[in-house]
């Protein structure tokens, strides 16, 4: 299709400018990688952690004037948009604790409930259907959007990588929320946000990370996905 008002770049850049991004569990590889790329795109980023000194240290390691660190609840309170880059273990508990400061905000869940054994990665069953739906159930006053599930932390953090060659599937039940996250993903060079469906279709997107792990092992790659004909 050709670019038009319904296309992947629908949200206007002016909605994004000045947005402060909080990253819960931001000291992990995925969180630091997203912090790095979103700061490069001009956003103030607050890395959150259970341990403020670890968050400040991670922020200092990434460097630059735009990245700061603090407790998870500080990141949740000070940010306009919050990314949950936390481990699957403890996912519901941590988000429940932060329901107050996250109320009224867009919460981007990028958590992949997958396990590993001797045969590789496999999806872990989630009673709510997906990590994102679990987040929505414990954060009824937030707008939960699923996104950034398939982004290689290693590539995000690699200073040699100028451009990320992948589409980010963005899932949610609120059009304004998914449009904003689609635009946010599009700020990172090479990355494109593509609407991927309602939240009830997020489980298979999260679980697909196990397939990407299998692909990476077989082909010695950092695989991502592109959606064709969009």
Which of 6, 14, 53, 118 is close enough to bind a second copy by CB under 8 A? 6
End-to-end CA distance of the chain: 6
Structure tokens at 60: 């200092």
Instruction: List the x/- string, 157-186, binding to a second copy by CB under 8 A.
Output: --------xx--x-x---------------
Which of 121, 126, 132, 188 is close enough to bind a second copy by CB under 8 A? 121
211 contributes a contact to a second copy by CB under 8 A? yes
Residue 182 CA from chain centroid, whole number: 11
Query: Which of these ranges, 12-20, 29-37, 94-102, 121-129, lies near a second copy under the rule CB under 8 A?
Result: 121-129
Tell me how long the chain is: 230
CA distances from 157 to 26, 50, 145, 197 (A): 13, 22, 23, 28
226 contributes a contact to a second copy by CB under 8 A? yes
Q: Shortest Cβ distance from residue 138 to a second copy (Å)? A: 22
Residue 166 CA from chain centroid, whole number: 14
Structure tokens at 91: 């996912």
Which residues are near a second copy by CB under 8 A?
1, 6-8, 119-123, 165-166, 169, 171, 194-198, 200-201, 203-205, 207-208, 210-211, 213-215, 218-230
């Amino acid at each position: 299709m050709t670019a038009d008002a319904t296309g992947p770049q629908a949200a206007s850049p002016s909605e994004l400018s000045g947005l402060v991004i909080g990253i819960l569990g931001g000291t992990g590889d995925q969180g630091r990688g997203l912090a790095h790329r979103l700061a490069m795109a001009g956003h103030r980023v607050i890395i959150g952690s259970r341990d403020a000194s670890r968050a400040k240290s991670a922020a200092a390691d990434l460097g630059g004037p735009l990245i700061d660190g603090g407790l998870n609840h500080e990141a949740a309170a000070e940010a306009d948009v919050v990314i949950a880059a936390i481990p699957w273990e403890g996912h519901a508990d941590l988000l429940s604790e932060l329901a107050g400061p996250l109320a009224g905000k867009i919460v981007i869940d990028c958590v992949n409930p997958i396990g590993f054994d001797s045969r590789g990665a496999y999806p872990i069953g989630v009673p709510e259907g997906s990590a994102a739906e679990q987040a929505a159930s414990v954060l009824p006053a937030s707008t939960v959007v699923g996104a950034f599930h398939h982004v290689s932390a290693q590539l995000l953090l690699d200073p040699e990588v100028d451009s990320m060659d992948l589409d980010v599937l963005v899932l949610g039940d609120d059009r304004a929320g998914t449009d904003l996250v689609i635009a946010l993903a599009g700020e990172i060079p090479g990355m494109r946000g593509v609407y991927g469906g309602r939240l009830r279709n997020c489980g298979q997107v999260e679980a697909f990370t196990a397939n990407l792990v299998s692909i990476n092992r077989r082909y010695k790659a950092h695989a991502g996905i592109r959606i064709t004909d969009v």
